[in-house]
């Protein structure tokens, strides 16, 4: 893990229950930030927060469906109240998949994925950006996907949502740059998480053969990039998208 000092800073991470989001929350906490962890599964979220706190970090759990405007409004007010009115870092990581070919994709499958993966970052950013503007400081990191860069068969909804995150990132970065608020995006490739752990071994081998470094990434690989984008040292980097994929889409 790279060394970044985030002491005195407050961070919000959506989708912090497991996988990449949990890895990001742990890394931010280990760097000294107080972390508001957002998820929809109360039991799993509580366990994740307990683990962070047991390791000497500072984290609180907040239940919220990021696709619901009223829930985002309520949870953002509560977080700002709990964290002294200051949020320095926002990581929009929450995401879902409902994969199928476009010819049989239902309206619900399309709408649900777009709602969480694209509407969610919009609602969360809107909820916290005023506090960042007031402090004239902020770091917003949006988690996209290589599927948003190159597309993926059976993921028209997911790829569209993640491509939208990239467009959202680049636009909002221009709107906020004059307030010392940077907005960047990370596009992970295949990462070792609960989702990839259940894949057929034959498929795993096939996927790894497509990755030049010959392996899946880890949540730490994504967390390291988040730490850089979250740090004061990245002040001249905004509107950027970095693919962390082991060279898969070079």
pTM of the model: 0.96
Residue closest to 90 by CA, chosen among 52, 130, 57, 145: 130
Q: How far is CA 214 from the centre of its chain?
A: 25
| CA trace torsion 137, 188, 151, 234 (10° rounding) | 30
pLDDT one-digit tens code per residue, 171-185 = 999 999 999 999 999
Strand partners, 59: 35
| Residue 74 confidence (pLDDT) above 90 | yes
Cα–Cα distance for residue pair 128/233, rounded to 1 Å? 22
- Is 158 an active-site residue? yes
| Percent of the chain topping pLDDT 90 | 89
At a CB cut-off of 8 Å and minimum separation 6, what does 56 contact? none
Catalytic residue, chosen from 62, 137, 158, 228, is 158
CATH class of 10-243: alpha beta
Q: Are 213 and 247 in contact (CB under 8 A)?
A: yes
pLDDT one-digit tens code per residue, 187-240 = 999 998 876 777 678 877 888 888 999 999 999 999 999 999 999 999 999 999
């Amino acid at each position: 893990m790279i060394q970044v000092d985030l002491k005195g800073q407050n961070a919000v991470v959506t989708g912090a229950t497991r996988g990449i989001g949990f890895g990001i929350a742990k890394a931010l906490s280990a760097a000294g930030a107080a972390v508001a962890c957002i998820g929809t599964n109360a039991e799993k979220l509580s366990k994740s927060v307990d683990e962070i706190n047991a390791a000497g970090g500072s984290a609180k759990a907040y239940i919220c469906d990021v696709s619901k405007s009223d829930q985002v409004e309520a949870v953002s007010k509560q977080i700002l109240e709990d964290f002294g009115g200051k949020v320095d870092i926002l990581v929009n990581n929450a995401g879902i998949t409902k994969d199928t070919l476009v010819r049989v994709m239902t309206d619900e499958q399309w709408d649900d994925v777009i709602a969480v993966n694209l509407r969610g970052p919009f609602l969360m950013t809107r909820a916290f950006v005023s506090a960042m503007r007031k402090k004239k400081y902020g770091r917003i990191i949006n988690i996209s996907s290589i599927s948003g860069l190159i597309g993926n068969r059976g993921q028209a909804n997911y790829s569209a949502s993640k491509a939208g995150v990239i467009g959202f990132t680049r636009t909002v970065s221009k709107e906020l740059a004059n307030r010392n608020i940077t907005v960047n995006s990370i596009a992970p490739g295949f990462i070792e998480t609960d989702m990839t752990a259940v894949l057929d071994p034959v498929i795993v081998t096939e996927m790894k053969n497509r990755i030049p470094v010959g392996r899946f990434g880890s949540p730490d690989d994504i967390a390291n990039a988040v730490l850089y984008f979250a740090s004061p040292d990245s002040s001249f980097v905004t509107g950027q998208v970095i693919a962390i994929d082991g060279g898969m889409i070079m």
